[in-house]
Amino acid sequence: MFSQIVTNIKVNLIFYRRNRLVFVASLFIIFMLVLSSIPGLLFMTKSKHVEIIRLVFVELSRFATILTAGLGLLFMSHHIRSRSIKMVFTKPCLPETWLLSGFLSGAIVCFSLYIIIFLLTSSLFFIWDVPFQWGIFYMTVNEFLQALIVFSYMTFLAVIFHPVAAVFFAFLFQEGVLYYGKIVLSSGIKAYNAGILTSVLQFLKVIVDIAYLVLPSFKPFSAEMSKVYSSLRLTDAEWDYLFLAFGYTFFISALFYLLSDYFLKKKRLI
Amino acid sequence: MIKADNVTVLFRNGFLKKAFKALDGFSVAVEEGDVFALLGPNGAGKSTAMYCFLGLIGPDSGRISVAGRPPFPGSGMFSEVAYLPEEPHYHLYLTVEEAVKYYADLFGKGIGRQKVVDAIDRVGLTEFRDLRLSKCSKGMKQKVGIAQCLVTDPKLIFLDEPTRGLDPITVKEFRDILIEMNKKGATIVLNSHVLSEIEMICNRVAIMNRGRVIAQDELNRLRGLNREVYQVELDRSDALPAFIEVIMKTQSTVKGEIPCDLLKDFIQFADVAGLKVYECSLKKVSLEDAFFSILKDGE
């Protein structure tokens, strides 16, 4: 099984490396990133260095998260839609093994991306002769964990939906949107205190509440970790929450791995 | 080796549409060492049957067993199975060599690079070893499929339209490879539209139509089915026995057909009547004749 995992990981990494869509998406995101960062980099004052480093880190992390989500979606939908998956499952390689390799490949790419981000942002401290802040390390680990959640979620969605529908679903049913929905529905229920409309709103709120509980949080414990994100100081870091985030990521990834496996086996792979 | 018992597979296009029976009470038995062909018109359910054997489709009802076990994706059963798909559903982002090596490595048998290179060489793709599959022609992709079947010394081989897109030389080579593998003990299950190909390599055939097996037997028996006749040409006579089915009459001769079991009667008749026999040859029924006849009877 181990050798099969290694074999699959190697092939998945070739897939990512040679995929034009990934390449074009990376170029586009980097271009947008550079375009949005240039003014800040050119017209900054010395005192703004730390703020710029923080912004660069946040932007790069956002880029890495989007890319990782895309990788999960692309990996699964490509292999299902091109039907190459049946060449794997007609060999003594279980869907569990193949799927695990897929998750691990995603984690490797994601890990590499965050090492690059860490090195890039760290180098800015030295370039601008600003005292290095280890909070960057803490934030990198946290962002890496968040990207893993997004990757697992998108991989799972790609098993059950068409990729376009999966993206639509991911955008529509996310923590922030649902939270906003909860607030709007609660206000609505308060405003219309009786009648059919209230019942409808209450019913909708139950659904939204369930969805809010069931769907994963892409940024767990973000409020608890906000201090280090604004100061970049390790002294502001809440290590307990990072460990909790690690546990949450592991749980969510394992859950979506099992769900992906279940639905993949249910699919007619022809 | 393979047994399908009253298998039904339903395909649905959308929730509201009526289900279509791709396999409808499909039953078949393949013995070890057979070269078994599934034959039938388009939409007969041949590929669906093969997907069921491979565990890629689970039947809605009925039972399937391959080597005594129900097949499911990626199971241990596949360590002795090779599969060549109808369409080139390979990992197109890999090169020829990478793909064959990848498929070989999935067996976890530690198949060396040399064996991979030999298999590629045997199908004549050596000079395209570093070409990505996405850039290969359909025939080349089919050869990659054959190469990945060769590297693992399989005991059971599933071939879905194996010679589709191949040139005549490669078809001949591939046929020779299959015969060689069968001699070494491999059981082969294939489906094909090329009847001459089936006649050349298969010993048993199942003819399918509308998801059902309408005839299943040894090829020789299926081809014969008591329809073989002698074609005769003899001096013209106005008092021919009824068992001679006249096809053509000229001024001096009569051409006709007689059932095989009445050959003795025919010779006796010609001898007694003093008629000269110009031709008396066995007219073999081809698989094509048998196929159309069985399909017609089945309908």
Using 50, 70 and 90 to split pLDDT, how confident is the model at B18?
A: confident
Average pLDDT score over chain A: 85
The structure tokens 């809605």 sit at B60
Residue B225 above 60 pLDDT?
no
Residue A41 above 70 pLDDT?
no
Using 50, 70 and 90 to split pLDDT, how confident is the model at A42?
A: low
Considering only CB atoms, A92 lies closest to which of B85, B91, B108, namely B108
Please indicate if any CB of chain B lies within 8 Å of the CB of A193. Answer: no
Considering only CB atoms, A18 lies closest to which of B47, B85, B93, namely B93
pLDDT reported for residue B298 = 63
pLDDT reported for residue A43 = 64
Convert the pLDDT of each residue in B86-105 to its tens digit. 887 888 899 999 999 999 88
Q: Does domain B2-223 have CATH number 3.30.1380.20?
A: no
Closest-approach residue (CA) in chain B for A3:
B108
Q: Do B73 and A18 touch (CB under 8 A)?
A: no
Which of A91, A265, A267 to substitute to test the interface with B, most B CBs within 10 Å? A91
Q: In terms of pLDDT, which residue wins out, B109 or B55?
A: B55
Convert the pLDDT of each residue in A168-187 to its tens digit. 888 888 888 888 888 888 88
Using 50, 70 and 90 to split pLDDT, how confident is the model at A14?
A: very high
Please indicate if any CB of chain A lies within 8 Å of the CB of B103. Answer: yes
Convert the pLDDT of each residue in A47-71 to its tens digit. 677 788 888 888 888 888 888 988 8
pLDDT reported for residue A222 = 75
CA dist B97 and B123 (Å) reads: 12
B contacts of A268 (beta carbons < 8 Å): 51, 56-57
pLDDT cut 70: percent of chain A above it: 95
Q: In terms of pLDDT, which residue wins out, A138 or B295?
A: A138
ipTM rounded to 2 decimals: 0.81
Q: Do A92 and B106 touch (CB under 8 A)?
A: yes
Closest-approach residue (CA) in chain B for A261:
B73
* In chain B, residues 41-60 whose CB comes closer than 8 Å to chain A: 47, 51, 54-57
A contacts of B102 (beta carbons < 8 Å): 7, 11
Domain map (residue ranges) of chain A: 2-164+231-266
pLDDT reported for residue A155 = 93
For residues A114-133, give the mean pLDDT: 84
pLDDT cut 90: percent of chain B above it: 6
pLDDT reported for residue A84 = 87
CA dist B229 and B244 (Å) reads: 10
Residue B196 above 60 pLDDT?
yes
* In chain B, residues 61-90 whose CB comes closer than 8 Å to chain A: 73-79, 81, 83, 85, 87, 89-90
Domain map (residue ranges) of chain B: 2-223, 229-283
pLDDT reported for residue A102 = 93
Average pLDDT score over chain B: 85
Using 50, 70 and 90 to split pLDDT, how confident is the model at B153?
A: confident
pLDDT reported for residue A220 = 79
String of DSSP letters for chain A: -HHHHHHHHHHHHHHHHH-HHHHHHHHHHHHHHHHHHHHHHHS--GGGHHHHHHHHHHHHHHHHHHHHHHHHHHHHHHHHHT-THHHHHTTT--HHHHHHHHHHHHHHHHHHHHHHHHHHHHHHHHHTT----THHHHHHHHHHHHHHHHHHHHHHHHHHS-HHHHHHHHHHSSHHHHHHHHHHHHHHHHHS-SSHHHHHHHHHHHHHHHHHHHSPPSSTTHHHHHHHHHH--GGG--HHHHHHHHHHHHHHHHHHHHHHHHHHHHS---
How close, in Å, is residue A47 to chain B by CA atoms?
49
